[in-house]
Amino acid sequence: MSTFRAIPHASANPNAGPTAGRDGRGSRVLAATIIAALIAGLIALLIGNAAAGAQIGQPAPDFTAVDSKGNTVQLSAFRGKTVVLEWTNADCPYTRKHYASGNMQSVQGLAQKDGIVWLTVISSAPGKQGYVNGAQADFLTESRKAAPTAVLLDPAGAVAHLYAAKTTPHMYVVDKNGVLQYMGGMDSIATAAESDIARAEPDLKEAMLAVAQGNPAPHPETKPYGCSIKY
């Protein structure tokens, strides 16, 4: 009751109106700041949980995505097979390094020969470098003579965030039991120069072949390099 009696008293005071207005605005600003902080914390928590979900030796985070041909693809549907996830951006010089040289296609060919599923993921947002639609993605596959099992379109970045993918390329290997066994770079020399491929350690290829044979990856986690994913 005292609160309600204070309101007309404040209104009667000519100096009280502006002060009350300032206090009201301050309260609203404070409330907005708190809400913004809570939202930022929630986003950070969700991203942190996603990153925590992609850990070597733990089940690979399951996902469903639409491929370049409009088909729905679910990771868990490939249980019983080794799966490679490749994040790509055709306009990135680090990606071009591995495609222009034929290095990426060569490893994809080995995967195809050994019955390994290869999922190329495009997570560039609309209007950002590397964004393509389904028809453009299929054109890239054909023109680059690439051999993925499917090209997944992830313009909202949902799959990329789930795996905390950072670069193009960024590579992952999942074993036949759905356990993540490798994540990192395509190889060990972090440049965009094709000439460095021959002298680099082929981390992804070694991991892929080892995991397909039921063995651990020689280097389960390496540092990825390339262009940042254009979320």
Confidence tier at 4 by pLDDT (50, 70, 90): very low
2-6, 23-27, 135-139, 218-222: segment of lowest average pLDDT: 2-6
Instruction: Say what the alpha-carbon torsion angle 165, 115, 74, 204 is, to the nearest 10 degrees.
Output: -10
Q: What is the pLDDT of residues 42-72, one digit of tens each?
A: 444 444 444 456 999 999 999 999 999 999 9
Tell me the mean pLDDT in the region 11-21.
Answer: 42
pLDDT at 208: 98
The residue assigned the tokens 């469903």 is: 64
Q: What is the pLDDT of residues 115-161, one digit of tens each?
A: 999 999 999 999 999 999 999 999 999 999 999 999 999 999 999 99
Q: What is the pLDDT of residues 179-230, one digit of tens each?
A: 999 999 999 999 999 999 999 999 999 999 999 999 999 999 999 999 999 9
pLDDT at 24: 56
Q: How far apart are CA 89 and CA 91, in angstroms?
A: 5
- Report CA-CA distances (Å) from 144 to 23, 42, 96, 103, 128: 63, 41, 10, 11, 21
The yes-or-no verdict on residue 27 having pLDDT over 90 is no
pLDDT at 11: 39
Q: What is the pLDDT of residues 65-119, one digit of tens each?
A: 999 999 999 999 999 999 999 999 999 999 999 999 999 999 999 999 999 999 9
Q: What phi and psi values does residue 112 have, to the nearest 5 degrees?
A: -60, -40
Confidence tier at 25 by pLDDT (50, 70, 90): low
Strands 117-122 and 83-87: parallel
